[in-house]
Structure 1
Amino acid sequence: MRFRLFYEGDLLSSANKSKRPAHKHDIRRAFHKQLQELWRVDGNLRDWVDRVDNNDVPKFQGIADRYGKWGHRWVPLVDDVHSTHCSLDVLMLRPGRVGGLIVETDIDNRLKTLFDALQIPTSQSQLEPPTSDEDPFFVLLENDSLISSVSVTTDRLLATERYIRNDIPDKLTLSRDQSANRDHVVLIISVAIHAAKTTTDNLHLIG
């Protein structure tokens, strides 16, 4: 199975501990809505929404019951139970010049934030109760160890109106580069799901 996830907004370094848990969950919520739609429109996944198990519970609800924690019921698309893993191809557009990948963007720590936002959280810290639309809560991964490979391409975000800060006092005269929000990104994430072994329970994911 192949599909794309999209995110636009701040992507903070994982070293920013004061804002990190709530920030990750904001990103997780953005992906939840897209994954929820994927389960609704993809033919193979739709079968698992409609099919029931031996307890007359829809298959995806059974997954949510299995992964209940922190007051949420999570539905990971990739998990150990189904012997699946995934590869990610990330296009990251951000303010700034071409190049400067490590120094200007702290890419490793920002990717850690992204990976954490793609998985079931590992603690309840700053985790808000689920809304009615977040029960169950759809995530890509049971845990980020199921990411088997990652490729990242960065480039300049040319739409300046998207990343120029609006909280700069008018009395300050700053250049466009000085007033840019360096945390702002546009991400297009291509996901490919693979099977460690093929079973009747994961054919809907790798077909």
Structure 2
Amino acid sequence: MFYEGELHSSGNNSKRPGHKHDIRREFHKQFRELWRVDGNLNEWMDYGADKAVPEFQRIADRHDKLGYHWVPLVSDETFTHCSIDVLMLRPGKAGGLIIDTDIDNRLKTLFDALQIPTSQSQLPETPAPDEDPFFVLLEKDSLISSVSVTTDRLLATERFIRKNVPDSLTLSLDQSANRDHVVLIISVAIHATKTTLDNLHLIG
């Protein structure tokens, strides 16, 4: 998965209640495409000879919540969990993963955006026409079994320099950087706690 844009720490989300869902929408587009092009998942998009409703629609109906129909890739019902590997590129020096507590809080925002939301306050009242059903990675973030994070410096300055600095101010490159801007490359491996016919297509 790929994301480029602002990623705020979880403590700042009260100022922008829709921030997590903005990110969730970007991932929805990618997961919807994954279900379309993946040979195994694509079979669940079709009706099949003996099914009146495609399997993805059955999943969506089972996860009817907060006015949305959700289609999680990883869920309790499929006995799956996942490991996540994140490459985070951002303005500033490389490193800082251990001492920069803000990185940890920003990852919490990311993981919230990968799951079905728990509160209506994060959501518009109704989904957009292309968001019914809404594809997500996780039924809930407790299904993340391990996380690996690598941080590095984003060198493409044109991507993160603020454009709204008054002409009267002369700022250095570091001073004019939007520190909330990130580029994320996310890899996911799905694992099974119990192998069933319903999860072979996810872990195979």
TM-score exceeds 0.5: yes
Asked if the contact 1:49–1:58 (Cα under 8 Å) also holds between the matched residues in 2, the reply is yes
* 5+ residue gaps, structure 1: none
* 5+ residue gaps, structure 2: none
Asked if the contact 1:119–1:142 (Cα under 8 Å) also holds between the matched residues in 2, the reply is yes
* Matching residue of 1:170: 167
**d(CA) in 2 for partners of 1:103, 1:10:** 21
**d(CA) in 2 for partners of 1:131, 1:125:** 16
Q: Matched residues, percent identical?
A: 77
Shift of residue 161 of structure 1? 0.2
- CA RMSD for the aligned pairs? 1.5
Deviations 1:131-173 (A, max 9, x none): 1100000000000000010000000000000000111111100
Asked if the contact 1:52–1:59 (Cα under 8 Å) also holds between the matched residues in 2, the reply is no
Aligned: 1:194 with 2:188: no
**d(CA) in 2 for partners of 1:81, 1:171:** 59
Secondary structure of the corresponding residue to residue 10 of structure 2 = coil
Task: Mark the CA change 1:156 to 1:179 in structure 2 (over 3 Å): closer, same or farther.
Answer: same
Asked if the contact 2:13–2:19 (Cα under 8 Å) also holds between the matched residues in 1, the reply is no
* Matching residue of 1:26: 22
Task: Mark the CA change 1:166 to 1:32 in structure 2 (over 3 Å): closer, same or farther.
Answer: same
Question: Aligned match of 1:101 in 85, 97, 100?
Answer: 97
Asked if the contact 1:12–1:20 (Cα under 8 Å) also holds between the matched residues in 2, the reply is no
Task: Tell which deviates more after alignment, 51-60 or 88-97.
Answer: 51-60
* Matching residue of 1:121: 117
Deviations 1:89-119 (A, max 9, x none): 0000000012233555711100100000000
Q: TM-score, normalised on structure 1?
A: 0.94
* Matching residue of 1:141: 138
Shift of residue 21 of structure 1? 3.1
* Matching residue of 2:44: 48
Q: TM-score, normalised on structure 2?
A: 0.95
* Matching residue of 1:85: 81
Shift of residue 126 of structure 1? 3.9
Asked if the contact 1:97–1:156 (Cα under 8 Å) also holds between the matched residues in 2, the reply is yes
**d(CA) in 2 for partners of 1:194, 1:27:** 24
Task: Tell which deviates more after alignment, 54-63 or 162-171.
Answer: 54-63
Name the aligned partner's letter for residue 196 of structure 1: T
Q: How many residues align?
A: 203
Name the aligned partner's letter for residue 149 of structure 2: V
Name the aligned partner's letter for residue 10 of structure 1: E
Task: Tell which deviates more after alignment, 137-146 or 54-63.
Answer: 54-63
Secondary structure of the corresponding residue to residue 17 of structure 2 = helix
Name the aligned partner's letter for residue 159 of structure 1: A
Shift of residue 50 of structure 1? 1.1
